[in-house]
Structure 1
Amino acid sequence: MVKRLIYGAFISFMIITGLQVAPLSAEEDSSHFYYYILVDRFENGTTENDTDKIDRDSTAGFYGGDYQGIQKNIDHLKTIGVTEVILSPIVESEDYLGQQVKSFEQLQETYGSEEELKQLVDQLHEAGIDVLVHVPLQQVSATSDLVGRDWIQADGEIDFNNESAVEYISDRLNDWIEQFQFDGYYIENADQLPTESLDSLTNQVEGLWLGGMSNETTLENGVDIFDQVVRFGNHEETFSNFTGYEADFTSLLNQPLFQSNDVAHYIDFKHTDRFTRALEPTGNHPVTRWKLALTYLFTVPNDPIVFQGTEIPMDGSIDDLSTHKMINFLAGDDQVSRHVEKLSSMREEYESLRSGEMKILHDEDGFLAFERILDDEKVYVLINTTETSQHINLTDIESGKELQGLLINDLVREGDDGEYRIATDRESANIFVVKDNSGIYWPITLVFVGVMGAFIFFAITMYRKQRHKNI
């Protein structure tokens, strides 16, 4: 009986220590964590702006998402660590994606009023979140008030080689900054637009500029035009690496500008299937696999972009537009959301995860291990997509240190051979930070001693009572 009680004390101790989470403190200098919001498909905060354009029976219709819906979820965005939201096009448009522009002078009425947009931006700023707006520069609709101008072609395509087009757009964007206090703009498929015109536009309009590019050559050229370029076109490689057990990360790790802070990247986006959908043929659990993919997204040098609903995590296909389903914030559990929160907090606390050099330590058979180094700060990242536990022995850490696991609570100290052995279970990831050896962790030790003492006292008391009865 006494043995059972002592074992119970040991289990209690393990549970207590397992719940310990390293405190994370924020720093003033933070990296970018972009969150793209498809306004019409985020949340319907009020029905007052639901005009006759709303058609929830059509996959291509307006569903009623609006500024008030975003406003209701600002606390959520702040909690998961978002630093910039990118709003889908806000101009009057024929489609919910905002690509078929009717007017750059009018806002999409189903999203809310100008005053509501101002309130949204103000409240996001109060939460420490900057606001970027996606600017559609490819085409206008047949009913656009711009039809007939010499820089609008017969098919509605905007001739961005025309200086008048650049001047018109730059005037609108500057007006919006003055009126709504936007912090910057995002241009998709920027490599399809003339370089000189883009350079002129970004110089005429202040703010943070993001440009989406899929061509490797234009990606490198884009860093001279934009503050950051968004790497397009590699989601299939990312999907293949994180859906199965035999990942080969080589193609991802050898991408142009992989070590650059001038690039932002994503797992999935509004023009792709959801990563959750790519997992269906494998039968692997979405939450488990999303944690692996997101750990990669947040710990390599490029900055992360997350498409709305990733933290749920949502499912969907681009073919039937189910990738753009309205978000149900009450669906599922919050495991992925909490994982994103942890990752963004770690990027905020550890500067090496934001701007440190990345050194690959292991990249074979579905197991990736690397370190991020900045001055004296070292952080190690282990991502294991395999069906077995994996480990790596570190030999370049000075004696007298310890490694603390941040995603999964762990503490690794120097072995007798002078090496540090860090490991991760199957289909899991962890981040280790090097710290001075803390010796005995007295708070946990005292709790353990207290629990053990209480159990032993109880066991002895019960034993004496039982013995007294038997006499």
Structure 2
Amino acid sequence: MVKRLIYGALLFFIVFAGLQVAPLSAEEDSSHFYYYILVDRFENGTTENDTEQIDRDSTAGFYGGDYQGIQNNIDHLKTIGVTEVILSPIVDSEDYLGQHVNSFENLQETYGSEEELKQLVDQLHEAGIDVLVQTPLQQVSSSSELLGRDWIQADGQIDFTNESAVDYISDRLSDWVEQFQFDGFYIENADQLPAESLELLMNEVDGLWLGGMSDESSLEKGVELFDQVIRFGDHEETFSSFTGYGADFTSLLNQPFFQSNDVVHYIDFLHTDRFTRALEPTGNHPVTRWKLALTYLFTAPNDPILFQGSEIPMDGSIDDLSTHKMINFLAGDDQVTRHVEKLSSMRDKYESLSSGEMKVLHDENGFLAFERILDDEKTYVLINTTETSQHINLTDIDSGKELQGLLINDLVREGENGEYRIATDRESANIFIVKEDSGIYWPITIVFVGVMGAFIIFAITMYRKQRHKNI
């Protein structure tokens, strides 16, 4: 009987405790979590659409990634909290990046059929994920069917100042929206195209418009023009901030439009080395450092974008195109994937992490601490890249509160001096949410006392039985 009581109490304790750490429920808000998919290098879901274009022996060849491969991983995308996927160009092209267009009328055969693309978009929508498509607007191939048009120059460059070019592209994109139900479009190197023509195109085609820009002087105009802008060119600062021990985060924190929801930021991307590769000279563990960098990405202002495979985390260099190798979802450490899942869930649940005003509390020698405040909701983020534990004392929190650690289980209550001391271990990060002081948590306390009481009764009973046996 005593054993049954103990087992029952333990089972109740485990189940009840499990309920306390259940995944955060997602709530709809206006924040975005973009995930860029290089279709040819994502996953080869079926060999039925493999054509003679496939050349896996060449780093610049088509590898056979397709719509079916993406469809196979929708559950993964949903689990980590992606709100929008961006597909690389889907048009018939002579290169796997889709930049040298053969035809805007035909789709790339190796990716699958139009019906398979429709199915992919439908299933992503069912999973609550919107679909954007990258649209190449600069270059056609040397064998393109478009050569000879008055808006195609002799070297294949698209003259996007020509109104006929804008009309042609807007007709194609409108057809795609009607046929495939795309939710928007992404234009890389948007700062190299005439703003007037881009504005005309966006006025003609409904959807979310995302622009990629590396020219800082054009960023202000881009923010006015696009719904959101990916600000390229700051990955070196990100790498240096998170690869070593004593980095200064100032250059990141002082980026233009850092507090603006109109800007999207990243760790690594299509045209950079992988962050994992940048870690090699330091000898620091990729999983540990990815967690630190991702915590920054998902809690600092601006919406995040991940380049495919970052959650594995993948390695590679842009020099030999190994950064574009096919993803192996069965390889790698799932700690980073689970970390992304936690961060995106927290962003959904606590709106201050996505839309709150940011105030830096500490930035020195590799330790960054900041608060995000939205109305009455306060969150605190600690990112410690150093070799020792770090802490800060908070003095502007009302009495009678408590701070709950979200990434690492921790509970901080008011000290005798009225301060709240929050800390994080070496090379780790945590997020704290301010709540009302819950006092003693009686359900857990009662279960704990019950288990201990049952154990004591069991021990006494066994002692008496053994003593009686010895007599």
- Residue type of the alignment partner of 1:219: L
1:9-408 alignment to 2 at 5 Å? 20-21=20-21, 23-408=23-408
Task: Supply the distance in 2 between the matched residues of 1:117 and 1:329 (Cα, whole angstroms).
Answer: 22
- Residue type of the alignment partner of 1:187: I
Secondary structure of residue in 2 paired with 1:95: coil
- Residue type of the alignment partner of 2:132: L
Task: Supply the distance in 2 between the matched residues of 1:75 and 1:325 (Cα, whole angstroms).
Answer: 22
Secondary structure of residue in 1 paired with 2:225: coil
Note the C-alpha offset of 1:137. Answer: 1.1
Residues 1:442 and 1:96: Cα distance change in structure 2 (over 3 Å):
same
Task: Supply the distance in 1 between the matched residues of 2:464 and 2:166 (Cα, whole angstroms).
Answer: 90
Secondary structure of residue in 2 paired with 1:144: coil
Secondary structure of residue in 2 paired with 1:264: strand
Q: TM-score, normalised by structure 2?
A: 0.94
Task: Supply the distance in 1 between the matched residues of 2:18 and 2:72 (Cα, whole angstroms).
Answer: 34
Q: Tell me, yes or no, if structure 1 residue 433 matches structure 2 residue 403.
A: no
Note the C-alpha offset of 1:216. Answer: 1.6
Task: Supply the distance in 1 between the matched residues of 2:456 and 2:219 (Cα, whole angstroms).
Answer: 66
- The answer for unaligned runs of 5 or more in structure 1 is 1-8
Residues 1:453 and 1:333: Cα distance change in structure 2 (over 3 Å):
farther
- Residue type of the alignment partner of 2:290: W
Give 1:4's aligned residue.
Answer: none
Secondary structure of residue in 1 paired with 2:203: helix
- Residue type of the alignment partner of 2:409: N
Secondary structure of residue in 2 paired with 1:85: strand
- Residue type of the alignment partner of 2:201: L
- The answer for unaligned runs of 5 or more in structure 2 is 1-8
Give 1:6's aligned residue.
Answer: none
Note the C-alpha offset of 1:449. Answer: 1.6
CA contact (8 A) 1:46 1:68 kept: yes
CA deviation profile, 1:183-220 (whole Å, cap 9, x unmatched): 00000011111111111111111100000011222111
Secondary structure of residue in 2 paired with 1:344: helix
CA contact (8 A) 1:133 1:184 kept: yes
Task: Supply the distance in 1 between the matched residues of 2:381 and 2:314 (Cα, whole angstroms).
Answer: 26
Q: TM-score, normalised by structure 1?
A: 0.94
Task: Supply the distance in 1 between the matched residues of 2:204 and 2:51 (Cα, whole angstroms).
Answer: 36
CA contact (8 A) 2:355 2:374 kept: yes
CA deviation profile, 1:353-391 (whole Å, cap 9, x unmatched): 111100111111111000111110101111000011111
CA contact (8 A) 1:152 1:158 kept: yes
CA deviation profile, 1:97-145 (whole Å, cap 9, x unmatched): 1011100000000000001101110111111100000001121100001
Note the C-alpha offset of 1:224. Answer: 1.1
Note the C-alpha offset of 1:301. Answer: 1.1
Residues 1:451 and 1:228: Cα distance change in structure 2 (over 3 Å):
same
Note the C-alpha offset of 1:452. Answer: 2.1
- Residue type of the alignment partner of 1:182: F
Equivalent residues, number: 461
CA contact (8 A) 1:30 1:348 kept: no
Secondary structure of residue in 2 paired with 1:379: strand
Task: Supply the distance in 1 between the matched residues of 2:334 and 2:454 (Cα, whole angstroms).
Answer: 36
- Residue type of the alignment partner of 1:113: S
Secondary structure of residue in 1 paired with 2:140: coil
Note the C-alpha offset of 1:443. Answer: 2.7
- Residue type of the alignment partner of 1:289: R
CA contact (8 A) 1:21 1:409 kept: no
CA contact (8 A) 2:23 2:345 kept: no
CA contact (8 A) 1:21 1:406 kept: no
Task: Supply the distance in 2 between the matched residues of 1:23 and 1:76 (Cα, whole angstroms).
Answer: 15
CA contact (8 A) 1:22 1:406 kept: no
Report the identity percentage: 87
Task: Supply the distance in 2 between the matched residues of 1:412 and 1:443 (Cα, whole angstroms).
Answer: 19
- Residue type of the alignment partner of 1:85: V
CA deviation profile, 1:41-99 (whole Å, cap 9, x unmatched): 11111110001111111111111110011111111111110000000000000011101
CA contact (8 A) 2:42 2:69 kept: yes
Note the C-alpha offset of 1:243. Answer: 0.6
Give 1:419's aligned residue.
Answer: 419
CA contact (8 A) 2:271 2:318 kept: yes
The CA RMSD measured in Å over matched residues stands at 2.0
Task: Supply the distance in 2 between the matched residues of 1:117 and 1:22 (Cα, whole angstroms).
Answer: 35
